[in-house]
Structure 1
Amino acid sequence: MTHVIITGGSSGIGLAIASIYASRGARLSLIARSAEILKQAQDELASKASTVGDIRIETADVAREDEIAAAIHRCEAAFGPCDILVTSAGVVEPGRFEELGSSAFQRQMDTNFSGTVHAVRAVYAGMTQRGRGKIMMISSGAGLLGIYGYSAYCASKFALHGFAQALRSEARGRGVNVSVCFPPDTETPQFQRELAFRPAEAAAVMGTVSPWPAEAVARKVVAGIERGRFEIYFGLTLFLLGRFGPAVRPLLNWWFDRAVARSSSGVSKHGG
């Protein structure tokens, strides 16, 4: 039976991915920081799983390597070696760079980038020894283009892309498939919290595109895992950025700069 471990599996994209695998009879290990929200996720998935015992929950902060490693090892002890790892745990705290405290900046790097590295490290040796395994890292469209007010978040997600590229080269010959995906704005609880802190200039740019449902993102992620694709994009703009970034990025930056300038002008006129 396939054992799928999902960090950040208690809500949002992670939970939507878990729902797909639960309906397919996989054993699921969900890891997140909140025991209460994890239990809610476990109850929600119970009706789709083969048995309630096929869904395991563990509390851990991915930013703490000892915590996430111990949690993953407990999951493997209970359900067997990890066949598929999905690193969906992440945080986003928008804010202009000069207003964003060092702790908020570091928190996003520690969770989004280092947290992924910690989870991958916990399963990687076993996967390479067995000569099989799949790793899916959840990056973001913000990992393809710098966005006003998202300096820390973009940095953490750009870093993930570089990590995935390098690890893919190392893992390919050892039977381990490494993938990375770049979701757009997605309808999740975290997205709703983020909107309250999104600078007006960023909203002027990002608010022009409707967010994707988490279920639609999850279906595309799972399909990418099954097909062994390295990079998974969502929508034409992100696809073009991923494939033709150097050519497309200047045009997008030009459009973004104009939108930001108009927004800043409007704020100045009405905000005093």
Structure 2
Amino acid sequence: MHVIVTGGSSGIGLAVAKAYAARGERVSLIARDAERLDQALREVKAASKGGSAFAFSADVSKHEDLAFAVKACETANGHCDVLIASAGIVEPAAFDALPAAAFDQQITTNLLGTANAARAVYHSMKARGQGTIMVVSSGAALIGLHGYAAYCASKSALKGFAEAVQAEAVGTGIRVSICFPPDTLTPQYQREMTMRPWQAEVLMGKVKPWTAEAIAQRIIAGIDRNRSKIHFTPSLMALAYLGPFIKPLLSRWYRYRLKRGVRETHARSSTVHLKTGISSGIDTPKL
């Protein structure tokens, strides 16, 4: 079996690639950064149990380049049996503070990049009457988050994309699935946390992130069981199936916590200014 993974140079994509390699499958990686891709290929080869590994650098947002990369992978490892569309980026910031280019890049990479990857393998799979496409979305697809307008938009759009292609694939032998991972401990997550707004933390909480390896195992198990959707946690499953009932209550709770957080932040700021004034000899009001 030949598995092609976009976004295969790190994070969930690399973890999935290594897990399939450990099962003895043929694995191909596609990612933009050639240097990181070379390192990832070495890791996949080290994990391989008799399969072969190949890598090709391409930007998923450029459909012609990606189509060429997929052809190169299939030349090296045979036709694609499983596509893991995992390439994605996130850059949190308030909508009015996020540069238009950064907004567009998230939409282009996360949504159009996934569509480009699916398009590159779809016709061949349809001709053969078999194949699996796994769309890697995010828990952020299920609810709006402060500072994640671009990311939430791109990841929730993947849900509509996957469902539409699922409908079109009926009777073709192609299985289209989508998964909604929670926070996952990856290099991108570590960068993201340095920019995540506190308002998002109010809603998301401080839940321990999953490991990329644990996410990968759940994705592969879902593919093995022909699952059309994978939600990973009870809370994400509840949002997916009971969202219309849960979100209004969650929104009211969030607004309350947000106002409380603003008051607490203001109180802490006032305390800091008061202490600073006392220690520096600045006149402070008598309370």
**TM, length-normalised to structure 2:** 0.90
Instruction: Tell me the residue number matched to 1:26.
Output: 25
Whole-angstrom CA distance in 2 between matches of 1:74 and 1:163: 26
Instruction: Tell me the residue number matched to 1:226.
Output: 224
Comparing 105-114 with 193-202, greater Cα deviation is found at 193-202
**1:41-80 aligned within 5 A:** 41-51=40-50, 54-80=52-78
Q: Give the conservation status (yes or no) of the 8 Å contact 1:13–1:214.
A: yes
Comparing 194-203 with 86-95, greater Cα deviation is found at 194-203
Whole-angstrom CA distance in 1 between matches of 2:199 and 2:145: 10
Change (3 A) 1:271 1:68: farther
Change (3 A) 1:159 1:218: same
Q: Give the conservation status (yes or no) of the 8 Å contact 1:201–1:259.
A: no
> Which AA in structure 1 matches 2:169?
A
> Which AA in structure 2 matches 1:113?
L
Query: Cα distance, 1:271 vs. partner?
Result: 5.1
Number of equivalent positions? 270
Instruction: Tell me the residue number matched to 2:246.
Output: 248
Instruction: Tell me the residue number matched to 1:91.
Output: 89
Comparing 161-170 with 244-253, greater Cα deviation is found at 244-253
Query: Cα distance, 1:101 vs. partner?
Result: 1.3
> Which AA in structure 1 matches 2:236?
L
Change (3 A) 1:64 1:267: farther
Whole-angstrom CA distance in 1 between matches of 2:98 and 2:138: 20
Comparing 242-251 with 140-149, greater Cα deviation is found at 242-251
Whole-angstrom CA distance in 1 between matches of 2:257 and 2:149: 18
User: SS where residue 27 of structure 2 aligns?
Assistant: strand
Instruction: Tell me the residue number matched to 1:267.
Output: 265
**1:104-253 aligned within 5 A:** 104-253=102-251
Whole-angstrom CA distance in 2 between matches of 1:98 and 1:222: 38
Query: Cα distance, 1:183 vs. partner?
Result: 0.5
- Percent of matched pairs sharing the same residue: 50
Query: Cα distance, 1:19 vs. partner?
Result: 1.3
> Which AA in structure 1 matches 2:79?
P
Whole-angstrom CA distance in 2 between matches of 1:83 and 1:247: 39
> Which AA in structure 1 matches 2:64?
D
Query: Cα distance, 1:47 vs. partner?
Result: 2.1
Query: Cα distance, 1:242 vs. partner?
Result: 1.1
> Which AA in structure 2 matches 1:222?
I
Gaps in structure 1 of 5+ consecutive residues: none
Instruction: Tell me the residue number matched to 1:9.
Output: 8
Moved over 6 A (4+): none
Whole-angstrom CA distance in 1 between matches of 2:56 and 2:97: 35
Task: Spell out, residue by residue over 1:158-189, the C-alpha distance to the aligned partner (whole angstroms, 9 max, x if none).
Answer: 10000000000111210000000000011000
Instruction: Tell me the residue number matched to 1:36.
Output: 35
Q: Give the conservation status (yes or no) of the 8 Å contact 1:62–1:68.
A: yes
Task: Spell out, residue by residue over 1:240-272, the C-alpha distance to the aligned partner (whole angstroms, 9 max, x if none).
Answer: 111222112222222332333333333344457
Aligned-residue RMSD, C-alpha: 1.4
Task: Spell out, residue by residue over 1:129-169, the C-alpha distance to the aligned partner (whole angstroms, 9 max, x if none).
Answer: 10000000000000011111101000000100000000001
> Which AA in structure 2 matches 1:134?
T
Q: Give the conservation status (yes or no) of the 8 Å contact 1:5–1:82.
A: yes
Whole-angstrom CA distance in 1 between matches of 2:21 and 2:256: 45
Q: Give the conservation status (yes or no) of the 8 Å contact 1:202–1:260.
A: no
Gaps in structure 2 of 5+ consecutive residues: 271-287
Query: Cα distance, 1:100 vs. partner?
Result: 0.9
Task: Spell out, residue by residue over 1:44-99, the C-alpha distance to the aligned partner (whole angstroms, 9 max, x if none).
Answer: 12222135x71111111111111111101111111111000001100001011111
> Which AA in structure 2 matches 1:185?
D
Q: Give the conservation status (yes or no) of the 8 Å contact 1:201–1:264.
A: no
> Which AA in structure 2 matches 1:20?
A
Change (3 A) 1:271 1:81: farther
